[in-house]
Structure 1
């Protein structure tokens, strides 16, 4: 059976820092383990360049060009049948896959690739051009959200396939349903500057609209903005407990305790935690944002910029058992139907199998 080269330029599946990005890379490698086919991590070269530094980008491009010679030789030796790259975009373009797949004459597949033409001519010009070059050369592009698909669809070349792939968890079946008996709100997210801190700020504002009562909050996550998040949550005193960075088992235990999951979702592509919470039967409350609204059950979405509406939705789940039970079941039904490993495996291999039909 075929050996399939896999690459994640933003964050390797072996990266030491946990994140949704790493989780998806790991999950996709599991999807590629099918019917005797074997994924091979082709490279751990990280092309991530977050500052818009042209010198750094040029150096990474040069490093990648030199690495391609060895990768082509490795691919010839191991008889790679296809190259699959997860997450190609202007801050972390795939600088390897286009060259290696062309040299080997094998299919080139992208998962979650985005165009950002507004970056052309700016500090990420070189990297955006490389990201677009990779997209143009791909035989297949899988997209997780309709937001990503819009720009991709407008630039499809003849014969190129654009395929919707709903985000998925590394689960074959649903986990046990959460108990969620206490009025416990779970918040989970990396504590870093920018969008994550903005979501924490909105969540804190929502909590100010919660009346006195027995409700409590657990926060899972850590990062350089830990003190800033603690300051945001300080007004709520002992109601808030910081759990720190949790492993998979720790997060599963946190979901089991929770009655509701609150995360506004500022600029989330979609958010793996939303899928995890709903798989456990924990109703989600989030802002109605692009990407987020494609993975969260509709009853959990509230308008952007209305923290009082977030609080009201949280309270409804905490205080109304019928509401909680109905939303918990709807959440689990949503995940079971579209966001588990079997659904992803079927969709991916429906596309990959014809590409590999000539592989001995």
Structure 2
């Protein structure tokens, strides 16, 4: 069974690593695990981050040419369905609905968000295109409960919504963490929400007793000087590991004591799943999206401030048995809900709802 797959924000074979690219690759792995053959239909990146009408028009024109190219390819390869990952107002799917309609095949979306408030303003045309794609979908898989709310509110007649939990592209858990190393933070070093999380981390560290902790930071990016400045007061207690590949990152998880990442405006955060899979307890704030991947537990609300996180860190660092208990609970949660076989079964069920049997 041949399926066309497209990721308008960032293609699965894009050279720059990111959570979005990792999720696209995981989705392809899950579809193939379920018995499909997957074609990367296009590498057109439709993102307009600035609300630039000229950029949007250029992307509409490029997409039109892509549609003309892909329709004959889809006929030759006998595509059974088109699947698009991550359709939203800054990077809408400008290709899939037209190709699927021309080929008379089901059109499915994974992680599509609706933003009616963007139908006016600089992204109005792109927001409408994202809405049109959502309206055209036979099945929409949502990853978080936050996305489900607007998808349910605005779904079209006969459209099916299915909860696909964020997942790791692996069939089994990695080795259990030793939980006796430094704390760990994993996140790109860039401005905006990531830098906001690092500011919260730095503020929290000021509340920890000196000499009782160490922190490794895995990640890199243009805001590294800003993060280094935030961490400068802590001297050698904070170490920057840079950008790590998957194998090196798994090694780092394996020697850490816990993962500390507040999660400001994270869609969900693959690092939470990766860390929990190794048995690391998590110190994070209870935020939409983040809660969809964390094992059940008590996580402080952002409005509670820094104190609850600092107290949680001190308790976990002081009591190894508590780290172990929470880590085992986290591993069990990931094993039950967030691995490849579960995701493959969910995707297979959604395709069946659209009339495609793998």
TM-score (norm 1): 0.97
Structure 1 residue aligned with 2:102: 103
Answer yes or no: is 1:348 the counterpart of 2:356.
Answer: no
In structure 2, what is the Cα distance between the partners aligned to 1:328 and 1:99? 47
- 1:39-80 deviation line (CA, Å, top 9, x unaligned): 100000000110010111111011101110110010011111
Instruction: Render the CA deviation track for 1:307-350: whole Å, top value 9, x for unaligned.
Output: 12111111111111221111001100110010000110111101
**1:243: which partner in 2?**
241
**Deviation readout 1:178-224 (Å, 9 max, x if unpaired):** 01223x11011001110000000001111111112331000000000
> Which shifted more, 196-205 or 295-304?
295-304
Q: How many residues align?
A: 357
Match of 1:274 among 265, 272, 277: 272
Report Cα offsets for 1:259-287 as digits up to 9, x if no partner. 01000100001100000000010111101
1:301 corresponds to 2:299: yes
Secondary structure in 2 aligned to 1:76?
Answer: helix
Counterparts of 1:60-99 in structure 2, within 5 Å, are 60-99=59-98
* Unpaired segments ≥5 residues, structure 1: none
Kept in 2: contact 1:283–1:300 (CA 8 A): no
Which segments of structure 1 move beyond 6 Å, counting only runs of 4 or more? none
In the alignment, which of 275, 280, 283 is matched to residue 281 of structure 2? 283
Superposition map of 1:1-360 within 5 A: 2-34=1-33, 36-182=35-181, 184-299=182-297, 301-305=299-303, 306-357=305-356
Q: Secondary structure of 1:157's partner?
A: coil
SS, match of residue 68 in structure 2 = helix
> CA contact under 8 A between 1:206 and 1:311: conserved in structure 2?
yes
Contact 2:286 2:300 in 1 (8 A): yes
Contact (CA 8 Å) 2:34, 2:344: kept in 1 or not?
no
**Contact 2:169–2:340 (CA under 8 A) maintained in structure 1:** yes
C-alpha distance in 2 between matches for 1:209 and 1:157? 50
SS of equivalent residue, structure 1 residue 228 = helix
Shift of 1:293: 1.3
Given that residues 85 and 97 in structure 1 are in contact (C-alpha distance below 8 angstroms), is that contact kept between their aligned partners in structure 2? yes
Q: Provide the C-alpha distance between the structure 2 equivalents of 1:334 and 1:357, rounded to a whole number of angstroms.
A: 30
CA spacing shift, 1:225–1:134, aligned 2, 3 Å: same
> How far apart in 1 are the matches of 2:216 and 2:257?
11
Relative to structure 1, the CA distance from residue 259 to residue 16 in structure 2 (aligned partners, 3 Å threshold; closer, same or farther) is same
How far 1:121 moved relative to its partner? 1.1
Cα shift at 1:254? 0.8
Provide the C-alpha distance between the structure 1 equivalents of 2:35 and 2:328, rounded to a whole number of angstroms.
Answer: 35
Distance change (3 Å), C-alpha of 1:309 and 1:354 = closer
TM-score normalized with structure 2 length: 0.97
Question: d(CA) in 2 for partners of 1:358 and 1:148?
Answer: 27
Task: Report how far residue 159 of structure 1 moved.
Answer: 1.1
Give 3-state SS (helix, strand or coil) of 2:42's partner: coil
Aligned CA distance change for structure 1 residues 100 and 209 (closer, same or farther; 3 Å): same
Quickly say closer, same or farther: Cα 1:292–1:253, change in 2 above 3 A: same
**Unpaired segments ≥5 residues, structure 2:** none
CA-atom RMSD in angstroms:
1.2
Matched residue of 2:108: which SS? strand
- Cα 1:311–1:37, aligned 2, differ >3 Å: closer, same or farther? same
